[in-house]
Amino acid sequence: MKTTFTLLTLSENFPDEESCIKYFEKMRWDGKVVSPYDPTSKVYKCSNGKYKCKNTGRYFDVKTGTAFANTKIPMRAWFYTMMLFLSHKRGVSSCQLARDLGITQKTAWNMLHKIRQYMEMENNQTLSGEVEIDEAFVGGKNKNRHKDKKVERCQGRAYKDKVPVFGILERGGKVIAKVVPNIYGATLLSIVNEYVTEGSVVYTDGAGYPGINIDYEQRDVDHSKHFYGTTYATDEGEIIVVSTNGIENVWSHFKRMIFGIYYHVSKKYMQRYIDEYIFRFNTRNFSDSQRFNLLLRNVA
């Protein structure tokens, strides 16, 4: 079976349920079956794709312990959902997926959220070199709300009705983003310390990050004074670009994904949608089949 495929050729590569299960077994075990109950145990192959763990006496299959377990949804439907989900640049809504698969919207919503939880692995990278940091506030605009639902003094950096998100972009590399409880300097700096290698150059928008210059070299652009960046050369000939346009671009595309496909996202599930976007961004140079295989390995 070819490991490179598209949404159009998916049915040719996986014509039946058995082919999907065999492909997932290859991803998970690569020819050596391991018991999810006792990795050191000997495993017996049984009928109907089942296996038995000798040490515990429990039966399992390749779906045990994954998003595909304890569900009546066939593996072909899961594969189609994942490929459809990844091949669309900004995702697919649960309503659209429900129509495509002939299932309920609730089932489609649950399937998509099960998939999103395995995208989180791409949102835990260690960044270094030159990085840009910035926070964003995700939520509707007051001017678009009905007068009964307007919230006073909620625009700008206020987040009474919005979700604050903090992001870090490695220039030319990957990005991470996390929902944060507040935008205090100490809160954001703790995330920088966790994900950015000491000694890196950190570009900020002028917001205060007390102590950031202890472990990092900080360079600012003060947006409050309408200063958005500059480029200059050092005596050694190094070109320095002082701006946070890269991370601002990340927020722009993320908000377009939300407003264009999902319309409304609750605070409870915001991190899941952020993980989805970060997965797409960090694999932006992957083909659809490479993304599919990466996500399937995460599930496995």
Q: Where are the domains of the chain?
A: 33-65, 127-265
Model confidence pLDDT, tens digit, residues 216-232: 888 887 766 665 666 66
Q: What is the pLDDT of residue 123?
A: 93
Q: What is the pLDDT of residue 138?
A: 83
Q: What is the pLDDT of residue 143?
A: 64
Rg (CA), the chain: 23
Identify whether the C-beta of residue 160 lies closer than 8 Å to the C-beta of residue 199.
no
Report the percentage of the chain scoring pLDDT > 70: 86
CA distance 169 to 295: 22
Beta strand 163-170 pairing with 175-179: antiparallel
What is the overall mean pLDDT for the chain? 86
Confidence of residue 283 (pLDDT cuts 50, 70, 90): very high
Eight-state DSSP code of residue 72: -
Eight-state DSSP code of residue 262: I
Say whether 201 sits in a helix, a strand or coil.
strand
Q: What is the pLDDT of residue 3?
A: 65
Identify whether the C-beta of residue 222 lies closer than 8 Å to the C-beta of residue 208.
no
Cβ-based neighbour number of residue 3 at 10 Å: 11
Eight-state DSSP code of residue 3: S
Q: What is the pLDDT of residue 235?
A: 66
pLDDT higher than 80, residue 206: no
Confidence of residue 70 (pLDDT cuts 50, 70, 90): confident
Q: For residue 279, what are the CA distances in angstroms to 8, 80, 136, 226, 248?
A: 22, 18, 18, 32, 17
Say whether 268 sits in a helix, a strand or coil.
helix
Report the percentage of the chain scoring pLDDT > 90: 49
Range in 31-45, 108-122, 205-219 with the lowest mean pLDDT? 205-219
CA distance 32 to 39: 11
Burial 223-254 (b: 16+ CB within 10 A, else e): beeeeeeeeeeeeeeeeeeebbbbbbebbeeb
**pTM (two decimals):** 0.86
